[in-house]
């Protein structure tokens, strides 16, 4: 059933408009969100949400020349726009105000204008907003914002290129024996985690630098406290819950809550199911949504990806069940999963369960050519992807 739905989505008729136009609807939603609240305002944001989703799913996809990485990332970007549209549609006006704002003040629901709309549009973590991540859970802000940001971009570029070269080496290596293949899969999984972390962090750094430059050129004050680093040390996670809740999902935590957790939680709660089951259903719903999100982007990028298994969905569901298990351990023993054993547990679950998903991704990427001489080191040069490989 699920397989047929993916095939239908892949072959669905398209509208005579590119699907990236869905992103242009988000500023309109953000502008309405920062305006004084009204029923008409809420209705218009919901209508714009429907338009954005329609354009994103049925619009024409940009030709990526059958490049799996470019195609998958493009689709991930478009689907992220859809999630952000959901957030802008269902977030109440009061939730974007500062946490300690005076509700009785006449300025509580004042129009924040386009500057406020830009802040709402670019703040995925809701920093200094009622719905946002508390400041104590965020990484410390850079003391020297510009130089530290530039240094971080260079550092992440180096880590990313090293991970890609390592990945290419191990993909080509087919060591004989079960032990050799086991080590190969483990190394590939660890490398994929590092690669994903470094690439996302690097892109975030570039966006942060662009916003900083644009703000300064316009003669406006740039509040660096609203742009802390994206992740703290993800390798310091001492439980599966910490890895996802406080580390990896910090950027789209609210989006996953709105799109996955709340629908499942509200459905089970409406059935008057007692205890922690509604909450656990919400956790499974959030991770199932994330899994389907990745499955769709991977499968609808390459025609070879219509397999019967769903490794990405399985990966996220295993992690959801691991979080539920950790909660039950704390409930019945009073002990929180953590420390060195918690860290070993967390990364054993994450690394081993990601092996089939990584195989799915590598299948989509296809053969990875080797590197010789300058071709290897050229990857460490900024903007090197624009340079052609030498024969």
Residue 102 has pLDDT above 50, yes or no: yes
pLDDT of residue 373: 47
Name 383's Cβ contacts closer than 8 Å, sequence gap at least 6: none
Mean pLDDT over all residues of the chain? 82
Question: What residues form DSSP beta bridges with 15?
Answer: 59
CB atoms within 10 A of CB 81: 20
Q: With 0.85 as the threshold, say if the pTM is over it.
A: no
Q: Per-residue pLDDT averaged across 211-223, rounded? A: 85
Q: Per-residue pLDDT averaged across 352-373, rounded? A: 74
Q: Per-residue pLDDT averaged across 260-287, rounded? A: 92
pLDDT of residue 378: 61
Dist. CA 263–CA 145, nearest whole Å: 39
Residue 335 has pLDDT above 60, yes or no: yes
Distance of CA 113 to the CA centre of its chain: 28
State residue 99 phi and psi, 5-degree precision.
-55, -35
CA distance to 22, 117, 126, 340, per residue, from 27 (Å): 10, 7, 16, 45
Tokens (6 digits) for 319: 């992690």
Burial of 211 (0-12, 13-18, 19+ CB in 10 A): middle
- Three-state SS at 16: strand
- Give the tens place of pLDDT for each residue, 113-169: 888 888 888 888 888 888 887 777 778 888 889 999 999 988 888 888 888 888 877
**What percent of the chain is predicted at pLDDT more than 70?**
81
CB atoms within 10 A of CB 350: 22
Contact 113, 119 (CB under 8 A): no
Residue 1 has pLDDT above 90, yes or no: no
């Amino acid at each position: 059933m699920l397989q047929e739905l993916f095939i239908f989505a892949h072959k669905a008729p398209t509208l005579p408009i590119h699907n990236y136009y869905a992103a242009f609807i988000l500023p309109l939603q953000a502008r309405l969100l920062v305006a004084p609240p009204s029923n008409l305002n809420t209705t218009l944001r919901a209508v714009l949400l429907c338009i954005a989703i329609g354009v994103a799913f049925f619009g024409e996809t940009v030709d990526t020349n059958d490049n799996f990485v470019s195609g998958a990332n493009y689709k991930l970007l478009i689907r992220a726009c859809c999630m952000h549209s959901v957030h802008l549609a269902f977030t109440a006006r009061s939730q974007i105000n500062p946490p300690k704002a005076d509700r009785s003040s006449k300025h509580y629901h004042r129009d924040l204008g386009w500057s406020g709309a830009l802040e709402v549009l670019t703040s995925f973590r809701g920093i200094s907003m009622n719905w946002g991540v508390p400041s104590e859970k965020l990484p410390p802000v850079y003391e020297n914002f510009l130089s530290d940001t530039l240094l971080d971009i260079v550092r992440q570029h180096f880590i990313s290129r090293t991970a890609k070269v390592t990945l290419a080496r191990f993909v080509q290596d087919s060591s004989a024996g079960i032990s050799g293949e086991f080590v190969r899969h483990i190394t590939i999984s660890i490398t994929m985690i590092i690669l994903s972390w470094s690439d996302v962090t690097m892109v975030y750094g570039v966006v942060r630098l662009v916003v900083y430059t644009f703000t300064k050129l316009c003669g406006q004050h740039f509040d660096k406290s609203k742009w802390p680093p994206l992740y703290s040390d993800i390798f310091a996670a001492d439980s599966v819950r910490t890895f996802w809740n406080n580390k990896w999902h910090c950027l789209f935590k609210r989006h996953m809550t709105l799109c996955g957790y709340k629908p499942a939680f509200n459905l089970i709660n409406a059935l008057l199911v007692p205890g922690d089951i509604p909450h656990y259903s919400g956790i499974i719903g959030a991770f199932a949504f994330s899994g389907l999100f990745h499955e769709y982007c991977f499968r609808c990028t390459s025609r070879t990806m219509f397999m019967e298994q769903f490794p990405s969905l399985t990966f996220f569901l295993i992690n959801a069940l691991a979080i539920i298990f950790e909660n039950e351990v704390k409930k019945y023993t009073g002990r929180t999963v953590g420390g060195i054993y918690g860290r070993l547990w967390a990364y054993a679950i994450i690394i081993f369960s990601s092996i089939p998903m990584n195989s799915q991704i590598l299948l989509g990427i296809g053969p990875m050519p080797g590197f010789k001489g300058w071709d290897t080191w050229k990857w460490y040069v900024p903007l090197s992807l624009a340079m052609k490989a030498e024969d």
